[in-house]
């Protein structure tokens, strides 16, 4: 199943499939937000923005609009 980081719930995980390089800040790429890496939703702030994620051991807060640009592959075995 393909979805985006913005659509996941707390505790869910997925593998980064694809994203628009122009839409993501360079800082996210430098911190390991690259295709093939696993993303886990750690916390969703009140009003659903920002979203706190774990990528390669880095805890990152991203806006929901940015999270919606990151496509994930989510398998039943990955989703909790």
Domain assignments of the chain as residue spans, ordered by start: 2-73
Mean pLDDT by 10 residues, the chain (80 residues): 90 88 81 89 93 92 91 68
Give CATH for domain 2-73.
2.30.30.90
Please state, in angstroms and rounded to a whole number, the distance separating the CA atoms of residues 51 and 7.
11
- What was the pLDDT predicted at 77? 47
Q: What share of the chain is helix, strand, coil (3-state, %, to 5)?
A: 20, 40, 40
């Amino acid at each position: 199943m393909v979805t985006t980081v913005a659509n996941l719930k707390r505790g869910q995980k997925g593998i980064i499939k694809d994203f628009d390089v122009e839409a993501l800040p360079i800082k996210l790429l430098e911190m390991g937000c690259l295709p093939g890496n696993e993303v886990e939703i750690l916390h969703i702030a009140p009003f659903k923005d920002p979203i706190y994620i774990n990528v390669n051991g880095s805890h990152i807060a991203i806006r929901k609009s940015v999270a919606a640009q990151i496509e994930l592959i989510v398998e039943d075995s990955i989703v909790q």
